[in-house]
Amino acid sequence: MINEFQWPALENFILKSVVIDSPSLQDNPWKDSPVRHNPLLVPRIHLDRPQERLPLVVVLSGFGGNGPKYLADKGFEKNFVQQLDECVSDRKGPEAFYLFVDAWTFWGGSQFINSKGMGRYEDYLMKELMPTVLTNLPIDHSRVCVTGVSSGGYGALHLASSYPEVFPYVAAMAPDSFFETCYLNDVYQSIPFIVKCKDLKGLMSQHKQGKIASRKDGFTILNSVCMALCYSPTSDHGFELPIDTETGEIRESVWRKWKEHDPVVFLKERKTAVKKWQKSYLEVGIRDNFNLFFGARHIRDILNKNSVALDYTEFDGTHFDFHERRPELWNWLANEWR
């Protein structure tokens, strides 16, 4: 017998997919497919009450991750959606639509911004994906939250502060921020390999052969290249590093480009938009592997100074403990929207 494959089996949701053939991603620098498959969890209560407007949670993945990966089997523990389903069953998570954004790139991420070096991922998300969902589903526009961890948390802060009318709620977990402490060390460590490859063509060749991702420091190298392509691309789809590869000195002209994208900078500049948020949620581990507690504290202070409603937590954990922390986020949202 051949049956329809339904994975994972969920008590409170059915799984669908929002497929976008994106004009914004046509001819992107890395020839990544413009056809994107965005998993969508549809609450079963929608089947019984199809006209009722329900909240929407937009989930952005961290660097090296992607929306469809949240469905993958984790073997001896519940995956993302199974954990969420359990929280909803226990009334510790909101019955809502959950959209998992497919924004994978050749280099592993996009920061959910428009970049000549990576592609127009912000346009894809805000001009194509979000309008499709908001138009075709009964969404309560006053209860839409964008959330993510690490680069996903960065994307959440960027998008919510750029489009507060779309995202009145934002939840960022260990977002990339205060670039001095979260990126520069990775760039310094990556320079010997980047120099050895000579140019972008050499890096591409190594990556296509799997010779970067398989290295012990592969994540560090890919992260550095990806961020340079996002924050300081060149006109030929290459990038500039913010550090002189010969002297190790900061290249101020390039570093300024990076800092323009830093949440501790742009949140100050977007204070009018940020004040429109209904509520924000921010947390970070005090032993975060990328020192993101420094950035989180700066963001906390910026939001507090601008009287933005914020729930802030520093927990005793690392950057890789958020599987255990997500139930706290779902419970926070459930209480806000109950």
Strands 13-21 and 35-43: antiparallel
Residues 112, 43 share a domain: yes
Residues 128, 193 share a domain: no
Q: How far apart are CA 45 and CA 69, in angstroms?
A: 25
Is the CB of residue 241 less than 8 Å from the CB of residue 223? no
Residue 200: name the closest of 225, 227, 223, 232 by CA: 225
Residues 77, 203 share a domain: no
Domain that holds residue 213: 181-259
Is the CB of residue 276 less than 8 Å from the CB of residue 285? no
**Three-state DSSP state, 212:** coil
Residue that finishes a domain, picked among 210, 234, 259:
259
Phi/psi at 49 (5° precision): -130, 70
Q: What is the CATH number of the domain that holds 96?
A: 3.40.50.1820
- The tokens for 210 are 């799997």
Residue 90 lies in a domain: yes
Q: How far apart are CA 43 and CA 315, in angstroms?
A: 31
Residues 325, 233 share a domain: no
Residues 25, 102 share a domain: yes
Angstrom distances, CA of residue 173 to CA of 85, 148, 149, 203? 20, 6, 5, 31
Residues 286, 236 share a domain: no
- The tokens for 264 are 């501790």
Q: How many domains does the chain have?
A: 2
Non-local CB neighbours of 145 within 8 Å, separated by 6+ positions: 55, 56, 57, 58, 167, 168, 169, 170, 171, 333
Question: What string of pLDDT tens digits covers the 338 residues of the chain?
Answer: 566 556 678 999 999 999 999 999 999 999 999 999 999 999 999 999 999 999 999 999 999 999 999 999 888 889 999 999 999 999 999 999 999 999 999 999 999 999 999 999 999 999 999 999 999 999 999 999 999 999 999 999 999 999 999 999 999 999 999 999 999 999 999 999 999 999 999 999 999 999 999 999 999 999 999 999 999 999 877 899 999 999 999 999 999 999 999 999 999 999 999 999 999 999 999 999 999 999 999 999 999 999 999 999 999 999 999 989 999 999 999 999 98
